[in-house]
Structure 1
Amino acid sequence: MLITDKVNLYLVSVKPQDNRQGSGRVESFGARLKREREQRGVTLDDIALSTKIGKRFLTALEEEHFEQLPGGIFSKGFVRAYACHLGIDEEQAIADYLSATAPSSPSELPQSDLPIEMAEQLEDREPVRAVRVPWALFAALLLVAALGFALWGFHSRETRKQDHAVAHIQPAADPRVAPTHTNGQSQAADATPGSFTVAIKAREDSWISITADGKQLSEQLLVAPAERSIEARDEIVIKAGSIGALDFSFNGKQLPAQGDYEEVKTLTFDANGLHPPTPKPSSPTAQSLPPRSLAIVIQCRRESARNPYCW
C-alpha cells in the first residue's frame, strides 16, 4: 500500500468519528483505543498477559501519558501489539499514535500539512524493520555454524582418543602362534609351503609350554575353550600339565587322545607327524620312599596339571 493511500485512509477514518461524537470534537487516540477494547469486553490484564507488555504502559497509551512510554520503535511496537490483540487496523492505530504524539496539534496545522507529516513519519518507520531482519538472520546463522563446528571438533577428538586407545590395547600377535581354523582343510591350505601345523584345543584348563624350531613361543595356562595353532619347519615340542584336557590335530587331521587328565606329558612333532612316546624311567615306588619324600610325591602329583615343573 502506498503512503498516500495510508494517509487517505486516515482522513476517511476521522470523519465517522466526528459523526459518532455528535459534538464536532475528534475522538482522541487513547479514547478510541479504550472504546475499542471495552466494546470487545477485553481487559488491560488480558492484553498485558497476551502481549507481555506491562500494564502501566497500556494504561499510559489509553490515558495518553506518552511521556511514560520508552518512545521510538518500542512505543510503536506497543501500539501495534495492542491493535493486533483487539483485531483493529494496526497501521491505522500507529498513524493515530504518531498524529497524537506530534509536536503540534492537528487542529492547529493546515490541512495540507497533515498528510506530509504523516508521510514523513511512515517513511522513517519502514526502513527500521528492513535493516533489523537481516541482522537477526545473520546472527542466527553464525550461532548455528558455531554449534556445528563445536560438535564436529568434539566428535573428532573422541574418535582420535578411541583409535589411540585401541592401538595401545591390541598386542602384537606372534605370526607362529594363531587361533586355529574350524575347518581342517582350510587350515592345511593356509600353511606355508615346506612347513607343518599343529593345532591345540582346550576342553578343560591346562598349563602348556610351546617350542617351535628351538624357540619357545609361549608358556601359559590355556583356558577352555581356547585354541592355538603353531606352525614350524623342523620341530614342535608341546609340554602339557593335563594332556587329557587337550585335543590335537596335525595339518588339519584330528589325532586321538594323548593321555589322561592331570597327566603331564610332552609331545614332539616334525614334518612326518607325532613322534612315538619315549619310555619313562622307572620312578621310585611308594614303598621304597621315606614318609617325607612320599608326601612330596603325592603333593607334586596333585599340582602337576598346572605346574609340570613340580616333577
Structure 2
Amino acid sequence: MDEVGKRLRSARIEKGYTLDDLQQITKIQKRYLLALEQGKFDELPGDFYVRGFIKQYATTVGLDGEEIVNDYEAQTPATRPRDYEQGVSKTRTAGHRNNSVGKWLRDNLGKVIIGLVALVIIASLYFYVSRLANQPKTQIPDQSSKVVSSKKSSASSSSQKSSSSSSSAQSSSKKDGLSVKQAGDANTFTVKNLPSGSNKLVVTATKRAWVMVTVTGGTGSTWQAVLTEGQSHDIVIPNGVTTIAVRMGNAAETTLKINDKSVPIPADATSVQNYTLNFESNN
C-alpha cells in the first residue's frame, strides 16, 4: 500500500509542490493528502473518495491517474466495504425482529380479531351519533337575516377585490424574484435579485457525499463535511456576498438550493465537480 503513496510523494517533490500548494490546487485537505502519501487510506472519508483523491492527486503531479488507481486497487485486499457489512448486520437484525412479530401475531391472532371487531362497532356508533347531532334544524327566516346576508355579500365582494389586488401585487413581485441560471458553462451560475435580509444555501445529500463551500464577500467563510444519506446543511449567505464556490465529491447525489430556489445542477454530473455561484448586486 505504501508504494502508491511513495510514487505520489516523489512526483510531487519532483514537480516542486509543497502539500500546501497541492491543497490550494486540488482543494483536498492537507491531512488527506498526507494520508495518501503515507498509505493511511483508512483515514479518508471512504473507499469512493480514496480513488477520487488518488486520481486527482496523480493527475495534478503529472502521473497517469487511472494507472495509479489501478495500482491501488491491485494492492488493496478484496474485502467488503464497511457500509456493506453494516447493511448486512441491519438486515439480519430486521429479519430477527420480523420473526418475533410474526410469532406474536400467530399466538394472539384471536385477540387481535376480537379487538378489531370491537373497534369497528365503536367507530360505527360514534359516526351514527355524530350524524344525528349534526342534522340541520329548521329555522324561520326573518327580515334581519336578509340584511345580514346582504352585508356578508358586500363584505365578500370587497374581500375578493382586495384578494385580487394582492394577487396582482404578488404576481408583479414574482417577476423580479430570485433567479438562478446557468451562465456560460454548465458549472457556473448567475444569481439575481437575492432578497435583502436572511438568506441561506442549503446542501442536501441523497447518498453519502463530501462537500466543501467557500463564501467570498461579506463576512466570508469556508465549510466542509461528509454528509450522510438524507442529511442537509444550511450555510448563511452574508450581505455583500459576491461568489460562492462549491466542490462536491459526489455531485450526482447532491443538491443545492438558495432559500427555496433550486440550483439547476446537470443531471449527468460526474462524481467530483466544482460549481461557482456569482451574485449580482440589486443596486
Normalised by the shorter chain, which TM-score bucket?
under 0.3
Larger radius of gyration: 1
TM-score (normalised: structure 2): 0.27
More strand by share: 2
Answer 1 or 2: higher relative contact order, Cα 8 Å, separation at least 6.
2
TM-score (normalised: structure 1): 0.25
